[in-house]
Structures are given as C-alpha cells and as structure tokens.
Amino acid sequence: MKNLIIIDICHTLVKTNTTYSYMKYLMKNWVKPCFNYLFFNKFTTLIIIIFKSLFNIDIEEKIIALYFKWINLEKLEKINNNYFNRYEKQISLKIFKIIEDNRINNKIILLSAAVNPPIDFLKKKLNLEWYSSKLVEKKWIYNWKFQISLRWKKELIFQKWIFKINWYESIRLYTDNKDDINLMLYLKNQCTNFKSMIIPYKNKDYWEKILPKNDINYEFIY
C-alpha cells in the first residue's frame, strides 16, 4: 500500500506567501494603484484583527475574494506568464528533491489554502494532484466568492471529498504553516502512522510548544 505525502505550498514548497505575492503582482501590473492601498495598508490589517478578535469572523478571505472580483480572466492569462516565471524560481530545492525521491510507490499531493491560479501552475509544473482554495468563475470574471476556502480547514478535503486515508500505510505532512495544526490533529486521529515534517522557516518556537502538547509526532527538516 502506498504512503501519502502532503506538501504545503506557502513558505514550504515555495519561499513566499502565494496569495499575497500573486495579488501584489496583479496590482502592480494591472490593477489601479488605489486598490493597492485599499488591500495592503495597515488600516486593512487592523480591520481584519478587529473582526477576528471581537466577532470571531475571518474577514480576510472575504477581502481577498472581493479583490479578485475585478479580475478579467482573459486579460489575466496574458499577464500571468511573468509572474509564473518568478514563482517557479521560488520553489524550494529541498522540497523538490523530497518530491522527486518519493514519487515511486507513494501518493504526493499539494495542499494549500492559497488562491487556485498559482497552485494550478505548480500542479502542471510538478505533475502532482492538488487541492487549494478555489475562486468561483463566472463569464470570464472571478465572482466575489470562494467555491471552497481551505483557510484553517484543510482537513475538509478528507472529510467531504472522495479521499480514503485508510488506503495508506503512513502519512507525512511537510509544512511550516501554523494554519495546519487542525489538519495535523485530524490526520493524527485518522492514521496511527502520521508524522509532521516541519520546515522551521519562522515558526519553530510555536511548533515546539504546540506539537508536544497535542502529542503529535514530528521532525524538523532543515
């Protein structure tokens, strides 16, 4: 039976936050400067914090989806190539080698809460199955909604989609994304041979506290 290897994207497979690097590129090359100020200033960050702390509402994904409402897909295809060329150079050679070394007798999937266009590019580049937050498309324009959002809830792909965890002898999750703690807890309960492979990009102190507390088997990958 094959093993399942799950690869996070942002700051794991690629050395950037995919959603925000993509949005900033589009703003610089297409969207008017006023929208750059609207979505990437400190006031917006403050609004996100207030809604989360006072009302327990994650408004960030709504702001992201609202931004993409102005994106024309036909025009988008014409300007994406330059971004994807830069994005490809952000791929971690360490994680790329892990992928190549494990292609035989294992199932490898990309799993990200990022918006889907850059993840779709990685899927084609690396020839891997992928799951990500997906924006709704309507008449060559993105809608203001997500078809599915995986922010803090990546375990949805195993709960709601046809994906049988018990097919696999072991599961390995490569990540340094704090959002993935819920996914780790879910996978730990579903598979006795689960291990988190942590790339300590910036969250090492967090992981050293939270993983032993939740009895999650892990290893740091430098």
- What DSSP state is assigned to residue 10? B
Q: Give the number of domains in the chain.
A: 1
Euclidean distance between CA atoms 186 and 49, whole angstroms: 27
**pTM exceeding 0.75:** yes
Q: Which two tokens stand for residue 7?
A: 């690869």
Burial of 132 (0-12, 13-18, 19+ CB in 10 A): buried
* 128 belongs to a structural domain: no
For the CA atoms of 167, 91, 67, 179, the dihedral, rounded to the nearest 10 degrees, stands at: 50
Report pLDDT for 111: 95
Residue-number span of the structural domain to which 217 is assigned: 1-15+90-113+150-222
Euclidean distance between CA atoms 105 and 3, whole angstroms: 7
* 105 belongs to a structural domain: yes
* 76 belongs to a structural domain: no
Report pLDDT for 31: 61
Report pLDDT for 144: 63
* 49 belongs to a structural domain: no
Would you call 95 helix, strand, or coil by DSSP?
helix
Q: Tell me the CB-side half-sphere exposure of residue 19, using CA atoms within 13 A.
A: 21
Euclidean distance between CA atoms 28 and 42, whole angstroms: 18
Report pLDDT for 60: 66
* 80 belongs to a structural domain: no
Q: Which two tokens stand for residue 115?
A: 């918006």
CATH number where 186 lies? 3.40.50
Report pLDDT for 35: 56
* 35 belongs to a structural domain: no
Q: In what helix (H) or strand (E) does residue 173 lie, and over which residues does it extend? A: strand 171-175
Provide the CA 14 distance to its chain's centre, in angstroms.
10
The DSSP bridge partners found for residue 134 are 148
DSSP string, 130-169: EE--EEEEETTEEEEEEEE--TT-TTHHHHTSS--GGG-S
Euclidean distance between CA atoms 219 and 222, whole angstroms: 10
* 212 belongs to a structural domain: yes
* 196 belongs to a structural domain: yes
Over its length of 222 residues, how does the chain's per-residue pLDDT go in tens digits? Answer: 589 999 999 999 999 999 888 888 887 777 655 555 555 565 566 666 565 665 565 666 677 777 777 777 888 888 888 999 999 999 999 999 999 999 998 999 999 999 899 999 999 999 999 999 988 888 777 776 788 888 888 998 888 766 678 788 899 999 999 889 999 999 999 888 999 999 877 788 999 999 999 999 999 998
Q: Which residue has the tokens 């490809």?
A: 88
Would you say 23 and 32 are in contact if contact means Cβ atoms under 8 Å apart? Answer: no
Report pLDDT for 58: 64
Report pLDDT for 173: 97
Q: Which two tokens stand for residue 86?
A: 């830069």
Euclidean distance between CA atoms 132 and 150, whole angstroms: 7
